[in-house]
Structure 1
Amino acid sequence: MKVLILGGTHHVGRALVEAALERDDEVSTLNRGLSREPAAGVRALIADRADPESVRRALGDGRWEAVIDTWAWAPRVVREATRLLADRAGHYGYVSSRGVHRWPWPSGADERAPLVDGDPGSIDDADYAAAKRGGELAVIESFGERALLARAGMILGPYEDVGRIPWWLRRLEKGGRVLAPAPANTPLQYLDVRDLAIWMLQSAERGLGGAFTVTGPPGAITLGELLTTALEVTGFGTELVWAEPDLLIRHGLPLGMELGLRMPDGSAPSGMHDADVSAALAEGLTARPLRETLADTWAWLQAEGDPTPRPDAPSPDTWLDAAAEQRLLDQLSHS
């Protein structure tokens, strides 16, 4: 296909570019050109997404079979792009989020769960859920049935810049004893970023439209499997010390929030890791083994170093105060 990727330098965008090149697609990217040199074989269009005239100039008279948009902020930016491209692209894929569903998420929810309100013309990005929903509505306005809304859950794998697995890998790398949020058999639901990218490109090629919950199968892995597999693929000799949530709360340690296992008040959210993804699976979504995801993420970190966090990502010290962790570890060793 002839593909235009709006973004293309970080996390999902970078995975999309690499997956498209592996398919021998003809790839163009549109971004500010500030973060990374474009991959070999990519036509780089330079523009500020927040400046419609800049985008218009960069697009020129280009036409594409598919567009994939990774924008995560003000919905009006998505609307401007979709209006420019409505008659020049056959299909528009938008990387959305399960966050567009109204909270609290029902257990076992699918695409029919209630949605938040969104305004496709809004310039406000303070409310992530409303911004993503506004982006969805903007895409539907211009592309209708030619629009694919990929409502992603937790996205892991190489190039992650939101502070989940890279943070855990660097923490485990230090060795010794580290706290982990019990219970170890807590189920996790996630998708490797490369599997998301492949599915979106294949779906664009088929002209698939509609909204889909896009994450891995529920119940496929547990938190204990995630962390022990991370130790296995890295070879770290770190000891995991499992601590119950109420104990972590009393010591002011928000461990578990980074993986969506806890709310700030310490409660365990429902619906976070048991979404019904049968619709996406029926449309060809696949999930690679956990071991591959973790090994490749570690190899990327070793090769390129820690990524620059997204502007809206928590700071690295959000999840753990080292002194508080040590106090609890000392308490547990004497109990």
Structure 2
Amino acid sequence: MTPSRRQFLQFSLAAASLAACAPSMRALSGEERSSAPAKKKILVLGGTGFLGPAFVTAARARGHELTLFNRGKTRPELFPDVEKLHGDRDPNKGEGLKALEGRKFDAVLDTSGYYPRMVRASAELLAPNVGQYVYISSVSAYAKNDTPHADESAETATLADPTVETMGKNFENYGGLKRACEEAAEKALPGRVANVRPGYIVGPEDRTDRYVYFPLRFEKGGEMLAPGSPSDPMQIIDVRDLAEWLVLLIERNTTGIFNAVGPEKPWTMGEMFAACKEVTGANTKLTWVPGEFLLKNGEDGEGALPIWAPAFGAYAGMHLRSNAKAVRAGLKFRSPVVTTRDALAWFKSLPEDRQDKPRAGLTPEREAELLSLWARAQGQQGPPAAQGG
């Protein structure tokens, strides 16, 4: 299936979120405390968006030395005591990568590579002076989403024009570009690359508002449209869990391709709403509207419902990627209830005018329209849908 704009919005990382993330570290286990890592010098390409700051916080908590390379335009006030180098990922713009010439690092985390020419430029420049290159890709690098439990060996997306440097009108090039960036890094540093493919990255400081829409709406009460069915799968990963695991990959010099999706065990829309209820205490009435009906009424992957996808057909595997390889490599997950609680608390800490302008989710008008359409359809075709809360 050709990646759509919706897939880009679902799986894009730092470029889709301009917010910084400053999470607290999860308490280390006794085993982790007893195996203090050797201090490493780590270069972050980016570092001031969403995942980048979470990684910087996690890496510094483990005693590593960080250097950030970016244009200095997004949140330049972050981490005043961390070394910052300015330039451009495009070597043909301004000073380009000049600030990186001759610099040596143990590892590189690339959170901002979207075009293979630019990833190739940084990877080739750094190759003689770094031991490991960790590239943040995306599950959009896969060609299709129709196979549940597909692992890292699944078919990947391709580009009709390998030189293209636009996402395309509907972001149809996004997945192919991500895969081409992976290949560019691996070609420059064969055997020294970890290509990490996250799905939905959520949690505190996620300024897309995709995930927080659900607890926010649930807390308001009344009748709420619940998409699909309680058994529809949902995969998310807390930005803090991803960041801490990336630090671990660098500490262990781990390479390869990994699906960074969670939780560890399959999670469902029903369980997600149960988390919303536990966090908010609201007695919201859920009306489950089948995916087929939503597709017929405009919520077909380009609509307002965030994160959810139909659990059938071309989308059957979208929320069921295998994470077994990443778990074996040490990826751990905090409870989705904790992620839900912390994401909601963060959103409520924002200024009121920002809270009044959520960036994702059904508007009250659109939700009411869909619920009305579903109620009329049920009146014509059979009994009302089962409710749950």
TM category (shorter chain) comes to: 0.7 to 0.9
Partners of 1:252 and 1:122 in 2: how far apart?
A: 30
Partners of 1:3 and 1:244 in 2: how far apart?
A: 47
Q: For 1:285-327, what per-residue CA distance to the aligned partner results, in whole angstroms no more than 9, with x for missing partners?
A: 1111111111121222223459x9xxxxxx936x535324223
Equivalent residue number for residue 100 of structure 1: 141
Is residue 247 of structure 2 the alignment partner of residue 184 of structure 1?
no
Is residue 185 of structure 2 the alignment partner of residue 139 of structure 1?
yes
Equivalent residue number for residue 375 of structure 2: 332
Alpha carbons of 1:249 and 1:103: their partners in 2 closer, same or farther (altered >3 Å)? closer
- Alpha-carbon offset, residue 150 of structure 1: 0.6
* Range with greater deviation from structure 2 (1-10 or 29-38): 29-38
| Structure having the larger proportion of residues in strand | 1
Equivalent residue number for residue 195 of structure 2: 149
- Alpha-carbon offset, residue 218 of structure 1: 6.1
TM-score by length of structure 2 reads 0.75
Match of 1:23 among 38, 62, 65: 62
Partners of 1:202 and 1:65 in 2: how far apart?
A: 13
Match of 2:158 among 105, 109, 117: 117
Equivalent residue number for residue 50 of structure 2: 11
User: 1:156 touches 1:192 (CA, 8 Å); kept in 2?
Assistant: yes
Q: Secondary structure at the match of 1:188?
A: coil
Partners of 2:222 and 2:263 in 1: how far apart?
A: 33
Percent of residue pairs bearing the same amino acid type: 34
Alpha carbons of 1:5 and 1:121: their partners in 2 closer, same or farther (altered >3 Å)? farther
Equivalent residue number for residue 322 of structure 1: 364
Q: For 1:201-238, what per-residue CA distance to the aligned partner results, in whole angstroms no more than 9, with x for missing partners?
A: 11112111111122125653211211231232234454
Partners of 1:203 and 1:252 in 2: how far apart?
A: 41
Q: Secondary structure at the match of 2:319?
A: coil
User: 2:146 touches 2:317 (CA, 8 Å); kept in 1?
Assistant: yes
Q: Secondary structure at the match of 2:134?
A: strand
Consecutive unaligned residues of structure 1, counting only runs of 5 or more, are 309-314
Equivalent residue number for residue 309 of structure 2: 261
Equivalent residue number for residue 91 of structure 1: 132
Is residue 81 of structure 2 the alignment partner of residue 41 of structure 1?
yes
Consecutive unaligned residues of structure 2, counting only runs of 5 or more, are 1-39, 385-389
Alpha carbons of 1:138 and 1:328: their partners in 2 closer, same or farther (altered >3 Å)? closer
Letter aligned with residue 332 of structure 1: A
Q: For 1:110-158, what per-residue CA distance to the aligned partner results, in whole angstroms no more than 9, with x for missing partners?
A: 1111112258765333311011011101110111111000111222222
Letter aligned with residue 125 of structure 1: M
Q: Secondary structure at the match of 1:207?
A: coil
User: 2:221 touches 2:284 (CA, 8 Å); kept in 1?
Assistant: yes
Partners of 2:351 and 2:61 in 1: how far apart?
A: 24
Instruction: Give the aligned length.
Output: 326
Match of 1:284 among 330, 345, 355: 330
* Range with greater deviation from structure 2 (45-54 or 325-334): 325-334
User: 1:188 touches 1:219 (CA, 8 Å); kept in 2?
Assistant: no
Match of 2:213 among 159, 167, 170: 167
Match of 1:65 among 101, 106, 113: 106
Q: Secondary structure at the match of 2:185?
A: helix
Partners of 1:164 and 1:150 in 2: how far apart?
A: 21
Q: Secondary structure at the match of 1:145?
A: coil
